[in-house]
Structure 1
Amino acid sequence: MLTTLTITHESFPIAGSFTISRGAKTAADVLCVRLTQGQHTGCGECVPYARYGESMENVTAAIEAVRSNIEAGADRLAVQTLMPAGAARNAVDCALWDLDAKRGAMPAWRMMGETSAPVELTTAYTISLGEPETMAAQAKAYAHRALLKVKVGTGDDVSRIRAVRAAAPDSALILDANEGWRPETLAAHFAVCVECDVRLIEQPLPQEDDGALATVSRPVPVCADESVHKTDDLASLVDRYDAINIKLDKAGGLTEALLMRARARELGLKVMVGCMVGTSLAMAPAVLLAQGADFVDLDGPLLLAKDREPGLAYRDSLVLPPEPRLWG
């Protein structure tokens, strides 16, 4: 049966703004791929990311370049070879997973090889980068949450880390520097992370400088984000990282992300499942991937002024598995 492919660009306003070391944004601009066969439609969402040279235009072009293959019936394994890792392949891959689930009698989690139904997960909630007093106010407002992810990445984040910890004394903390630290600032930042009981530090150094992490003591586990995209990247990172952040938009979809998860565990790396700022459609397959992960950061819809309908259900610090009518 022939498949019809539709691509749409959609924009979802962010509640306030979302600020990291590379800048701020006020809307989540996403591309949605819909694949229709007869009465069944599968959907996938991606977020083009400028850090990796992606834009709405070139991601759309990458999907258009394989339109004829997809509409002729290319499956997930074929797409792995037709398209490189990245946002474009993610949207197509997740749409194919969803279409297969909707056409058949097997939910996506069973197709993934899982033996038990997905359960609710504790997810981080993100505190944007700002002045220490601003970040402390954000942290205080969300101090009831079990896990906070704190955006840092300036030359001196010591006061920010201490301010957030004082404002949220009972929350577990993850820091995300988004490549904003430098080798010469690591010792001071590691020291305050130990003082403030930080559980994990994401991508402290720029990708091109992260070799320095292999030469220093890491008293707090360090997680690769910008330095890791696909399974083939992992073996070269074990000397400098303790964990990896798997994001579907980097990996190029759930198919590759499942391989990454398995390989990371073989290498003794902890697994974090994260996200770009997107809607529940982007988070849904990641929730299934995150079953059993060491850290979960799937709060994208919570940062939006308005999510898709239907969306994921969030309860306190928990995100619940997606309903089949959303995805999978």
Structure 2
Amino acid sequence: MTGPSSVVLETHIEKLPLKQPFHITGYTFTECDALVVTLRDGELTGRGEGLGVYYRHDTPTAMIRQVEALRGLIEGGVTREQVLSLLPAGGARNALDCALWDLEAKRRNASVWQLAGIAEPRPLLTTYTLSADAPAEVETAARELKGAKAIKLKLTNDPLNAERVKAARRACPDAWLMVDANQGFTRDTLRDVVPTFIDAGVAVIEQPFPIGQEALFDGFDCPIPFAADESVQDRSDLARLVGRVQIINIKLDKCGGLTAGLALAREAGKLGFQLMVGNMGGTSWSMGPAFVLGSLCSVVDLDGPMFIRADRNPAISYQEGRVWCPDEVWGGPRNVAA
């Protein structure tokens, strides 16, 4: 797409308070900040949202500076392909890239999934995520999940992980279950808890070891597939994960947008990895582009809006454990300005 000079760029940062604190290894979140990029072309509007990557200090304040530095190029009609070289992987490129996709869909009167050459979307089974709380709180929260058929349980670097997994399984005996350590394990602590994972029917172990310590996977005897999240930011990280993990978690804030995410998915697939789509939180404007990518993935984790106090209107929907993004939420052909 080449945009005409009539494009007007708007940027702002929105605070998104969470319903309650959310705990993972090394962090407790009470809110998240999102960069919103809006591109206006007459009555047509394209939007993108980026939260950045907290553990890389990719903050919305830095992100908005990155986008504003390109204002002249953007309003002159920058293309998505040009943006790949103008901005590094991260939240700023994600927000801008997704706004360009959304605007292109309006201009061409087609859905983003059609522009991307992906099959018509369907509701996707998504995980519902549980915070790394005390086991009793995990069990209570799991019992309160409405319609969840798949659960992602956060774990952390403390002695309570086995009890957390048992609690989640007691509460949801029939749910598909994965665990996410967010880099919190050593080989010894993981080895100690793997028998509990097996007994509980855990299907995937996500990012057990810290970034840069991927060699810890070598020779680790575990029948449960491993997924890489923090260890894979973009395509340059794939080669060192071959033979070490089975699943790649693609997040648009990490790789820098839907354009890069689709390219990462293609390359990871060629290398034999299964695909997962995740999120850094956010509203339905973050989930919409990831939902498009989700059609290519065997694991989907797109529950971010469930944790914030208020979502967009219209918003994506969660029913019977599945997520659905209508065209009017993001990426559709409708010619609506706001």
Coarse TM-score class (shorter-chain normalised): over 0.9
Instruction: Please give the per-residue CA displacement for 1:265-318, whole angstroms capped at 9, x wherever unaligned.
Output: 111111110001100000001111100311000001111221011111221201
Amino acid at match of 2:312: R
Superposition pairs of residues 188-203 of structure 1, within 5 angstroms: 188-203=192-207
> Matched residues in 1 for 2:310 and 2:68: separation?
29
- Equivalent residue, structure 2, for 1:272: 276
Instruction: Please give the per-residue CA displacement for 1:62-87, whole angstroms capped at 9, x wherever unaligned.
Output: 11122221111110000001111100
Amino acid at match of 2:124: L
- Equivalent residue, structure 1, for 2:251: 247
> Matched residues in 2 for 1:60 and 1:91: separation?
10
Give the TM-score normalised by the residue count of structure 1.
0.96
Note the aligned Cα RMSD (angstroms): 1.3
Instruction: Please give the per-residue CA displacement for 1:190-245, whole angstroms capped at 9, x wherever unaligned.
Output: 22111110011110010122211022123110100000011221121112111010
Does the 8 A contact of 2:102 with 2:330 survive in 1? no
> Matched residues in 2 for 1:267 and 1:235: separation?
8
Say which of 208, 213, 218 aligns to 1:214.
Answer: 218
Does the 8 A contact of 2:129 with 2:153 survive in 1? yes
- Equivalent residue, structure 1, for 2:137: 134
> Matched residues in 2 for 1:92 and 1:219: separation?
40
Say which of 73, 84, 87 aligns to 2:88.
Answer: 84
- Equivalent residue, structure 1, for 2:125: 122
- Equivalent residue, structure 2, for 1:257: 261
Give the TM-score normalised by the residue count of structure 2.
0.94
Q: Aligned with 1:8: secondary structure?
A: strand
- Equivalent residue, structure 2, for 1:43: 47
The yes-or-no answer on 1:295 pairing with 2:299 is yes
Larger mean Cα displacement after TM superposition, 151-160 or 193-202: 151-160
Superposition pairs of residues 216-235 of structure 1, within 5 angstroms: 216-235=220-239
Does the 8 A contact of 1:310 with 1:326 survive in 2? no
Superposition pairs of residues 49-198 of structure 1, within 5 angstroms: 49-114=53-118, 116-142=119-145, 144-156=147-159, 157-198=161-202
> Matched residues in 1 for 2:186 and 2:48: separation?
36
What displacement does 1:325 show? 4.8
Alpha-carbon distance change, 81 to 221 in structure 1, aligned in 2, over 3 angstroms: same
Say which of 7, 23, 29 aligns to 1:25.
Answer: 29
> Matched residues in 2 for 1:7 and 1:198: separation?
42
Q: Aligned with 2:218: secondary structure?
A: helix
> Matched residues in 1 for 2:277 and 2:39: separation?
25
Larger mean Cα displacement after TM superposition, 233-242 or 170-179: 233-242
Amino acid at match of 2:48: G
> Matched residues in 1 for 2:329 and 2:170: separation?
42
> Matched residues in 2 for 1:211 and 1:227: separation?
11
> Matched residues in 2 for 1:181 and 1:24: separation?
18
Unaligned runs of 5+ residues in structure 2 are: 333-338
Amino acid at match of 1:136: E
> Matched residues in 1 for 2:96 and 2:31: separation?
22
- Equivalent residue, structure 2, for 1:319: 323
Instruction: Please give the per-residue CA displacement for 1:111-133, whole angstroms capped at 9, x wherever unaligned.
Output: 1012x311100111010111111
Does the 8 A contact of 2:111 with 2:327 survive in 1? no
Alpha-carbon distance change, 60 to 81 in structure 1, aligned in 2, over 3 angstroms: same
% same residue? 38
What displacement does 1:182 show? 1.1
Larger mean Cα displacement after TM superposition, 227-236 or 250-259: 227-236
> Matched residues in 2 for 1:316 and 1:13: separation?
26
